[in-house]
């Protein structure tokens, strides 16, 4: 069996010998699933603690909604939302912290505040974003998105969505490597729901092994998204947790290394059952 991948989160080395769970912590008033619930400091800290207790291996803190149609927030407002939370969580939880942002200024401030991973839905396309990552020592998740959150679902088109997404992610990873960023600091995310139709999302999910074959850890985030709702006949966000957990297990089965989820405890339980009972275990999962 090959050696497990290691993700270097600014010195916190996270083994990817099994699928890891990234718990979502939105400190925003307008995120699509839980907007406003954790916008206050104490609520955010308590939720992060609860997710770690439930099995989260990373906590992803976001201060700007990236739901379809979302309006951007100012740099000052995003910093106001996320930096105090990251600073507090550094002393409260033992797992690596991630910052969900596309702004280089927020990346730098967040790493200074304790973030070990930069999760950029814009795929490091903003001026200065790649330089901020290179100077940070943090891991980075490069996500594919076509357009912006405000416009991304306005008739997205691809000739071959899997090939185009793979080429973008591989190209951005290669650019980082060329500037001295170690492979152990790089994660790839195909960006389900970000400038993709339902059919695009399904094609990407079914061909996740092609993305895994690029040789970097792959993060999958489909938790409570519209693709889950559509598969289940138009279910609202509040009725998508079970479908999201099943999708997370299928992603792990296809080789995904990190699962970004809202429902941490349920996902952890499902992965434990899968590790014990699934007759097909992927090469990087040694828990069975």
Tell me the per-residue pLDDT of 190-217, one tens digit each, with 9 for 90 and over.
999 999 999 999 999 999 999 999 999 9
Count of CB atoms situated within 10 Å of the CB of 161 = 23
| Residue 182: C-alpha distances to residues 8, 174, 208 (Å) | 9, 10, 23
The owner of tokens 């996270």 is 14
Angle at 227 between CA 247 and CA 48, to 5 degrees: 60
Q: In the chain, what are the helix, strand and coil shares in percent, each to the nearest 5? A: 40, 15, 45
Three-state DSSP state, 219: strand
* 284 has a pLDDT exceeding 60: no
Catalytic residue (one of 185, 224, 225, 274):
225
Where in the chain does DSSP place strands (E)? 6-9, 12-15, 20-26, 58-62, 97-100, 117-120, 139-143, 186-189, 219-220, 258-261
- Contact call for residues 22 and 264 (beta carbons, < 8 A): no
In the prediction, which pLDDT does 231 show? 97
Residue 191 contacts residue 165 (beta carbons within 8 Å): yes
Nearest alpha-carbon partner for 63 in 93, 92, 41: 41
Residue holding tokens 């974003």?
A: 129
Residue 270's nearest CA partner among 233, 231, 244, 236 is 244
Q: Is the pLDDT of residue 35 over 70?
A: no
C-beta of residue 238 within 8 angstroms of C-beta of residue 210 = no
Domains of the chain, by residue range, sit at 6-277
Strands 117-120 and 139-143: parallel
Of the chain, the percentage scoring pLDDT greater than 70 comes to 90
Contacts by residues 273-280 (CB-CB < 8 Å, ≥ 24 positions apart): 274/249, 275/18, 278/253, 280/253
How large is the angle between the packed helices 75-90 and 41-54, nearest 10 degrees?
A: 50
Is 20 annotated as catalytic?
no
Q: How many whole angstroms separate alpha carbon 219 and alpha carbon 40?
A: 28
* Fold observed for domain 6-277: TIM Barrel (3.20.20)
Report whether pLDDT(281) > 70: no
More reliable by pLDDT, 1 or 219: 219
Q: Are the CB atoms for 80 and 28 separated by under 8 Å?
A: no
Measured in Å, how far apart are the chain's first and last C-alpha atoms?
13
108 is annotated as an active-site residue = no
Q: Which of 26-30, 35-39, 141-145 is the least confident region?
A: 35-39
| Residue 92, pLDDT above cutoff 50 | yes
Report pLDDT for 212.
97
């Amino acid at each position: 069996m090959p050696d497990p991948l290691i993700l270097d989160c600014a010195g916190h080395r996270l083994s990817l010998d099994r699928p890891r769970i990234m718990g979502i912590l939105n400190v925003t008033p307008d995120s699509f699933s839980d907007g406003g619930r954790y916008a206050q400091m104490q609520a955010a800290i308590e939720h992060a603690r609860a997710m770690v207790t439930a099995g989260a291996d990373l906590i992803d803190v976001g201060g700007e909604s990236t739901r379809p149609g979302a309006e951007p927030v100012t740099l000052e407002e995003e910093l106001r939302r996320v930096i105090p939370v990251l600073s507090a969580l550094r002393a409260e939880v033992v797992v690596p912290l991630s910052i969900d942002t596309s702004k280089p200024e927020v990346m730098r401030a967040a790493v200074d505040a304790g973030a070990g991973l930069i999760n950029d839905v814009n795929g490091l396309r903003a001026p200065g974003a790649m330089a901020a990552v290179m100077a940070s020592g943090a891991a980075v998740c490069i996500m594919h998105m076509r357009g912006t959150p405000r416009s991304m679902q306005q008739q997205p088109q691809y000739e071959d969505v899997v090939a185009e997404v793979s080429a973008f992610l591989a190209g951005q990873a290669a650019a980082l490597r060329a500037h001295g960023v170690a492979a152990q600091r790089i994660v790839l995310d195909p960006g389900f729901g970000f400038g993709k139709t339902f059919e695009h999302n399904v094609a990407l999910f079914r061909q996740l092994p092609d993305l895994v074959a690029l040789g970097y850890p792959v993060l999958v985030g489909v938790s409570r998204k519209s693709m889950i709702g559509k598969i289940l006949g138009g279910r609202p966000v509040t009725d998508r947790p079970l479908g999201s957990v099943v999708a997370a297990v299928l992603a792990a089965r296809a080789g995904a290394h990190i699962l970004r989820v809202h429902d941490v405890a349920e996902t952890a339980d499902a992965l434990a059952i899968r590790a014990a009972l699934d007759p097909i275990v992927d090469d990087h999962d040694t828990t069975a």
